[in-house]
Structure 1
């Protein structure tokens, strides 16, 4: 399914709130094409706000580095994360009441990949599952889950971990 098709499907669902674009905020971040399309047309999206696993897709203004959201004033963690690949991960979705966050990678290495950024495991090697290889796939899978679970914790085989082979890539440059 492409981004237009999934957004059209979601837009027809009374359990979801797809908010049309109202402001003219300019995008100053290099975004994958599907995410760029989303922000050209929409402000944000709430999926299944009446269900246990409701989640909100960030507005363009809320698309901030995930580390800044989860560790706003923790100098110790910021020191530990200096130079870390998680510095290129941006908050694409959140369910704050469940401490569940999803990041999208805007680095050249995994541009557009989405990661499970649960508060307790965010930016931890071996706990940073790749849960989608594009924003479109993320939306499709979140929508298919119907707000009843986090699809990557059920019958889903992650695409690996965000930190897989990181040392090899870094040392080969």
Structure 2
């Protein structure tokens, strides 16, 4: 059984992903899956967002699984500061060789300012999920078309999805 992830994303961010402007999704946690893995985009809310598809006509986008992408890389975001400094710690990316580099490019790809990222992370560390191979569906899917996965002592068990995840959750790959 192939595991994937279902991400709940607000309509304004979904629109930026759809337009190709948002290439990184910043989250407080990450799955234990190795990259690359498939991620499904659930557009939250009820803002009345509709799109016209050449194949399917006008489609409701909010409260639907609107597409999928491959998460091919996850960067760890940490706070780095100098001991005794009056400057607050800055968000940095941990590199594969365990050095730090500024998070400016990652935050720009996530369409976030450092202040917005700090507000979301509330002083904690985070992760930058990279979006590649984006595919927006002609006909968005209902949440119930996916199968959730719950961790048990015997492994992952399929479960019906009755509501979207608060942030993200494991699902069976379609």
Q: What TM-score do you get using the length of structure 2 for normalisation?
A: 0.24
Q: Bigger radius of gyration, 1 or 2?
A: 2
Name whichever structure is richer in helix by fraction.
1
Q: What TM-score do you get using the length of structure 1 for normalisation?
A: 0.24
Highest RCO, 1 vs 2 (Cα 8 Å, sep ≥ 6): 2
Name whichever structure is richer in strand by fraction.
2
